[in-house]
Amino acid sequence: MFDFFSARRPSTLAQEAMIATSHPLSTAAGLDILSAGGNAVDAAIAAVAVQCVVEPHMTGIGGDCFAIYAPKGGKIKALNGSGRAPAAATLEALKAAGLGTEIPQTSPHAVTIPGSVSAWCRLHADHGSLPLDRLFARAIHYAENGYPVTPRVAMDWAACAELVSGDPHAAALFLPDGVAPKAGQRHAQPLLGTRLREIAAKGVAGFYEGETAAKMVAHLKALGGLHSEEDFHKGAHQAHWVEPISTRYAGYDVLECPPNGQGLAALLILRILSKFDMGETLSEADRIHLHAEAVKLAYHHRDALIGDPAACPDITETLLSDQVVDKLASRIDMARAAPPALWDEPPHKDTVYLCVVDRDGNAISFINSLFHGFGSTRLDPATGVLFQSRGASFRLIKGHPNAIGPGKLPMHTIIPGMLCKDGAAVMPFGVMGGQYQAAGHAALLSGLLDRGMELQAAMDAPRSFAEGDILQIEPGISESVRNDLAARGHKLAVQTSPIGGSQAIRICENTGFLIGGSDTRKDGMALGF
């Protein structure tokens, strides 16, 4: 029975349709579209457009997008809406620009050609039912007339203020009076409303071609970028459908987008955990330890081997093979935290997620991101477009699968997920939180499938994340568990802000009812009818 004195909330139940997002205005916008007869794709586009306005630190039309779409009774497919590097972005060119082995977040070279608008328009053209101007109506209204800043958005915004202040145009828009808006204050982005009107009227051409594209290119060039109008013209068609990758876990199929995303890392973590008994008899310290060790192994391989799919052929089949998984699982010592190592020892020198299920049973898992908080922080004053920083994922190491190159896709952290059984979708799900996302997918699914937790409870459970040689833990993890983990050699760091966020909608296999959850670490909610 749910503990109504816990200060938590139960999962949301609905019968026909549901949407779950990290912002109440976004959830309301999607629910409005579902109520008006729109489908899951329509609702997702409407919701994310609102989030581009009301969560400007997390997402925007200058960002990237991935989705997994499961039409009722049809073939499940994934959409890669990530942006490519400019054609002139060679390793030699960036070295000549004075860069070392990494690309800084605020560098113009961190800006790949935004993929979000291309993805939205591809989704809409192939599966949408209502016109874009209808889907963008609420987002345009909030952009032009203002919206109230919510508590979690205000907290994250303030944390990014110093960085944003480094770009005068971003500072003018996002730091009114020199400071980040507080919760309850009004904020507006009129130029973003104009851009959404253009996209609604002209589709991809309204963003990637003509005067708007020319202005964006001119601004990026003025910053020292290598972008061209031709790069943006090609960007109009860069979103493309791909085959999802999957693994079996606890009797279900877990689907992820293939590389260049890190969904493969999520599947590898699950494959490693499947070699252990993750049920309720496992102690909390053992559970956190196992998750940490599996995450370190998977992320080590991610960083060494995953990039543009053309640069890492057959990597999915290799890393998910029994040979590799058995080898990695055997390296986990329950009594000791260990440094990760590659399976064959080769040489190796911020985001919004939402999901929707509509009245016809179509489901979509959808994620949109600027990468870092406020992306690159580079805002074009002529168009109001804030550019992402996804190119910071590229390495400047010759021969690395994720080395930058003309037209290459960088390794991506944003990953939508889909849980399936007998070929049918039973739960679109996702976990926000930058690098945490693959680890979060595995933790959420283990809570649901190994421990039988209720959906909202699985989301709200205290989190941990092994990143580098530090094990990040949330304050809800008890002192006795912390002492146990420290005794195994984990270097603990209690977090002062929450680790990630999540949304999911589970389609009840017995009744067909919808069970939704939205992480209490964020401002959002799941709603349906």
What tens digit of pLDDT does each residue of 45-74 get? Answer: 999 999 999 999 999 999 999 999 999 999
- pLDDT confidence bin for 339, thresholds 50/70/90: confident
Rounded to whole angstroms, how far apart are CA atoms 14 and 20?
A: 12
Q: Over 50: is that where the pLDDT of 497 sits?
A: yes
CA-based Rg of the chain, rounded to a whole angstrom? 22
The reply to whether 28 falls in a domain is no
158-182 average pLDDT score: 97
Q: Residue 159 belongs to what domain range?
A: 48-241+373-393
Eight-state DSSP code of residue 412 = B
Indicate which CATH number applies to the domain containing 514: 3.60.20.40
Are 188 and 143 in contact by the 8 Å Cβ rule? The answer is yes
The reply to whether 130 falls in a domain is yes
443-448 average pLDDT score: 98
Whether 106 is a known active-site residue: answer no
Same domain, 249 and 230: no
The reply to whether 247 falls in a domain is yes
Condensed to tens digits (0 to 9), the pLDDT of residues 190-230 reads 999 999 999 999 999 999 999 999 999 999 999 999 999 99
- 291, two tokens: 């998750």
- pLDDT confidence bin for 231, thresholds 50/70/90: very high
pLDDT at residue 153 in the model: 96
Same domain, 225 and 254: no
- The mean of the pLDDT values for the chain is 95
Integer CA distances (angstroms), 418 to 69, 212, 245, in order: 9, 35, 10
Same domain, 293 and 389: no
pLDDT at residue 199 in the model: 98
Q: Over 90: is that where the pLDDT of 433 sits?
A: no
Residue linked to tokens 């499947």: 274
Same domain, 219 and 298: no
pLDDT at residue 509 in the model: 86
The reply to whether 229 falls in a domain is yes
Same domain, 309 and 218: no
Same domain, 487 and 428: yes
The reply to whether 107 falls in a domain is yes
Q: Over 70: is that where the pLDDT of 350 sits?
A: no
Rounded to whole angstroms, how far apart are CA atoms 373 and 57?
A: 5
- 185, two tokens: 């204050």
The reply to whether 404 falls in a domain is no
pLDDT at residue 351 in the model: 84
Give the number of domains in the chain. Answer: 2
Q: Over 60: is that where the pLDDT of 294 sits?
A: yes
Looking at the chain, the whole-number percentage of residues with pLDDT higher than 70 is: 97
Q: Over 90: is that where the pLDDT of 7 sits?
A: no
Q: Over 60: is that where the pLDDT of 384 sits?
A: yes
- pLDDT confidence bin for 3, thresholds 50/70/90: confident
250-257 average pLDDT score: 98
pLDDT at residue 2 in the model: 66
Same domain, 72 and 138: yes
Condensed to tens digits (0 to 9), the pLDDT of residues 127-169 reads 999 999 999 999 999 999 999 999 999 999 999 999 999 999 9
pLDDT at residue 1 in the model: 66
The reply to whether 6 falls in a domain is no
Residues β-bridged to residue 430: 416, 503
Same domain, 338 and 433: yes
Same domain, 235 and 248: no
Same domain, 140 and 237: yes
Same domain, 227 and 257: no
Same domain, 289 and 202: no
The reply to whether 459 falls in a domain is yes
Rounded to whole angstroms, how far apart are CA atoms 117 and 64?
A: 8
pLDDT at residue 100 in the model: 86
- pLDDT confidence bin for 401, thresholds 50/70/90: very high
- Residue 246's closest CA among 229, 271, 227? 271
- pLDDT confidence bin for 342, thresholds 50/70/90: low
Catalytic residue among 106, 351, 377, 383: 351
